[in-house]
Amino acid sequence: MIEEVGADVKNVKAGDFVIVPFTHGCGHCAACLAGFDGNCLNAKEMGSSGFQAEYLRFTSADWALIKIPGQPSDYTDEQLNSFVTLADVMATGYHAAASAEVKAGDTVVVMGDGAVGLCGVLSAKLRGAKRIIAMSRHEDRQQLAREFGATDIIAERGDDAVAKVMELTDGGADAVLECVGTEQSVDTAVKVGRPGAVVGRVGVPQKAEMNTNNLFWRNIGLRGGIASVTTYDKAELLQAVLDGKINPGKVFTKQFALDDVQAAYDAMDQREAIKSLLIVEK
Ligand SMILES: [Zn+2]
């Protein structure tokens, strides 16, 4: 909910119910105009990934905030949870799918079964993928991956995972979503795509350098980075939630009061929760 706006803010006003992206796109620089508002050239708060507070001052509010019709009381808890994911994990999963150029009829591999990976599965489905192979070794996450549209689950890692994908596909996947960021995951992602496939990368790199020569021999494309949260929410994601086409809020499997934030992180760290939801009691 918006408490107050600055003099230059015209598109939203106090009392509006909004999604607050972790990005701060201005909407008019070269990056924003090209659809990369996560890299806005005017953003002053780059890297401030996530807000866990009762109040915050949000810059570039005029363009970056996404207005939700009505008020919170008009929605179910499940819908409200889905709106929360549109500030970060769902848009990031979608960025993996968009970067990998997932299109209708594709066979897609999703690396990573955290909230972002699961949202990647949902995004691949939303973009019309026919076959979605999720890499997961946790029972609860496998279940949600299937619910979100995964057709196959692979629990193996490394070369065994590559062999499994080759068994299931004709020479590899059309698109690969890398939602982990470890060296092994990126390495596997590059190997499971068919020649000419693009790897959409949203896992934060865990290693400073990578050997890009292995992309060359099989014409593999590699792109990705910080999600374009406002762009995707306005283009497709908010409407998809409002229409009930996607329910990404299901990634929140536990909830905590803001004061118990440490327990919320511990639950994710110990794999007791896929994603922890923080609630501010009013
Ligand atoms: Zn901008």
Spell out the domain ranges in the chain.
Answer: 18-89+229-279, 99-224
Tens-place pLDDT, residues 217-273 = 999 999 999 999 999 999 999 999 999 999 999 999 999 999 999 999 999 999 999
CB 91 within 8 A of CB 224: no
- Rounded CA gap, 98 and 271, in Å? 28
1 or 45, which is more confident: 1
Q: What is the mean pLDDT of the segment spanning 185-206?
A: 95
- Rounded CA gap, 201 and 110, in Å? 10
Q: What are phi and psi of 269, to 5 degrees?
A: -60, -40
The alpha carbon of 60 and the centre of ligand 1 are apart by a number of angstroms equal to 9
What CATH class has 99-224?
alpha beta
CA proximity to 111, closest of 197, 7, 216, 240: 197
Tens-place pLDDT, residues 149-186 = 999 999 999 999 999 999 999 999 999 999 999 999 99
**Burial (0-12, 13-18, 19+ Cβ within 10 Å), 13:** exposed
Confidence at residue 40, expressed as pLDDT on a 0 to 100 scale: 95
Confidence at residue 282, expressed as pLDDT on a 0 to 100 scale: 58
The alpha carbon of 127 and the centre of ligand 1 are apart by a number of angstroms equal to 26
- Please state which CATH number belongs to domain 18-89+229-279: 3.90.180.10
- Rounded CA gap, 188 and 156, in Å? 11
Confidence at residue 48, expressed as pLDDT on a 0 to 100 scale: 52
CB 175 within 8 A of CB 100: yes
Question: If pLDDT is split at 50, 70 and 90, which confidence band does 56 have?
Answer: confident
The alpha carbon of 16 and the centre of ligand 1 are apart by a number of angstroms equal to 23
The alpha carbon of 7 and the centre of ligand 1 are apart by a number of angstroms equal to 19
Q: Reduce the DSSP state of residue 170 to 3 states and report it.
A: coil
Q: What is the mean pLDDT of the segment spanning 80-86?
A: 98
Question: If pLDDT is split at 50, 70 and 90, which confidence band does 45 have?
Answer: low
The alpha carbon of 56 and the centre of ligand 1 are apart by a number of angstroms equal to 20
The alpha carbon of 88 and the centre of ligand 1 are apart by a number of angstroms equal to 18
* pLDDT surpasses 80 at 44: no
CB 178 within 8 A of CB 202: yes
The alpha carbon of 176 and the centre of ligand 1 are apart by a number of angstroms equal to 28
The alpha carbon of 158 and the centre of ligand 1 are apart by a number of angstroms equal to 39
Confidence at residue 59, expressed as pLDDT on a 0 to 100 scale: 87
Confidence at residue 50, expressed as pLDDT on a 0 to 100 scale: 57
CB 199 within 8 A of CB 220: yes
The alpha carbon of 185 and the centre of ligand 1 are apart by a number of angstroms equal to 31
Tens-place pLDDT, residues 98-149 = 999 999 999 999 999 999 999 999 999 999 999 999 999 999 999 999 999 9
- How far from chain centre, in Å, is Cα 213? 28
Cα dist from 191 to 65, 95, 160, 197, whole Å: 38, 20, 11, 10
The alpha carbon of 59 and the centre of ligand 1 are apart by a number of angstroms equal to 11
- Rounded CA gap, 202 and 227, in Å? 8
